[in-house]
Amino acid sequence: MIIKIIALILALAILLMAIIAVYNKKLVVAIVAAGVVSLFASVLYLLLSAPDVAMTEAAIGSGLSTVIFFYVLNKIRKNRKDHA
Amino acid sequence: MLKKIFTAAVLGVFALILVNTYGFMGPDQQLNEVATRYAEKGPEEVGAANLVTAVIVTYRGLDTLGEVTILFLTASIIGFFLKTKKEDIQTPVNIRKTSEILETASKIITPMIFLLGVYVFINGHLTPGGGFQGGAIVASGLVLMLLANPLKTVNHKIITVVESLSGFFFVVLGVMGLLLAGGFLDNTFIAPGRFGTLFSAGAIPVIYIFIGLKVGSELSGIVSNMQETQKEEI
């Protein structure tokens, strides 16, 4: 029962973070929110007894892809400064 | 106005499809036929304590080979498009200095993350996780290292050699299964050992070590390619 409640709260948090990621004007906030979506999703997978998927999601979804997004954002900003 | 009506109509159709599936998409009360077969015969046929690994590496090993190939293709395409000129890397750059805490902590934590990654893919047949997860953990250790020292360059030659060799040996092990045992990627050509110990499940630990090295080096290659683009033209 308590696991179900935690899972529900996590699902709502994922929805909230996803909405922030889509609608926030600041790209940095949007990237972090997208990373948090993956982090909460990995906890949810663990609760739903899928540890293999949870590991992949935590490492790739919230770790590597967030960093890659930041690298790309940094690169885009530099290019904009050069052209402006 | 027309655009909004179309959007609403498309969303409505999607909702209609999903409402129809909601009725009969309940959780299954029992395993289906294939899953029952795997759950009952898996431990004695494959010998892996982690049934997920038995399915991924042996029963559906060909799919894993396909996934690794797709990842390889992605990594090489990224490497191709992000190829930086040598002189760009040599020029001194003024990247913002990282904090003392991150730098010191990364020296202690990075080896532990690498060790955890290696542990995960060596124990893939016993505990949750395996080649993909272990490789991803190794690559995230590399991310920490690169964040702490932004000027560091990763040696691409080592990554390429490790990646190609482990991919090659993965296929060689698969063909050995074809020649010495029942079929492609059959793991029983190495003695299965005692169930539940590290040296068990035949060739699965060996195959998973190669998958882990391959995935780890591919993801590290992607990350280090991305990191090198940060250094040029500041």
Please indicate, yes or no, if residue B25 is contained in any of the structural domains: no
Does the beta carbon of B143 lie under 8 angstroms from any beta carbon of chain A? yes
Q: pLDDT for A18-71, tens place per residue?
A: 999 999 888 899 999 999 999 999 999 988 888 888 988 888 888 888 998 988
DSSP string covering B193-229, please?
A: -STTSSS-STTHHHHHHHHHHHHHHHHHHHHHHHHHT
pTM: 0.82
Residue A30's nearest CA partner among A73, A61, A60 is A73
Distance CA B72, CA B70 (A): 5
What is the total count of domains within chain B?
A: 1
Using an 8 Å Cβ cutoff, are B34 and B59 in contact?
no
Please indicate, yes or no, if residue B155 is contained in any of the structural domains: yes
Token pair in block for residue B78: 């990224």
Place of tokens 């893939």: B124
A48 three-state secondary structure: coil
Q: pLDDT for B16-46, tens place per residue?
A: 988 877 777 777 777 788 888 888 877 777 7
Q: Do B136 and A78 touch (CB under 8 A)?
A: no
Q: Do A55 and B136 touch (CB under 8 A)?
A: yes
**Can you tell me the ipTM of this complex?**
0.83
Q: Do A63 and B226 touch (CB under 8 A)?
A: no
Token pair in block for residue B182: 């029942």
Place of tokens 């047949």: B125
Which chain B residue lies closest to A63 (C-alpha atoms)?
A: B140
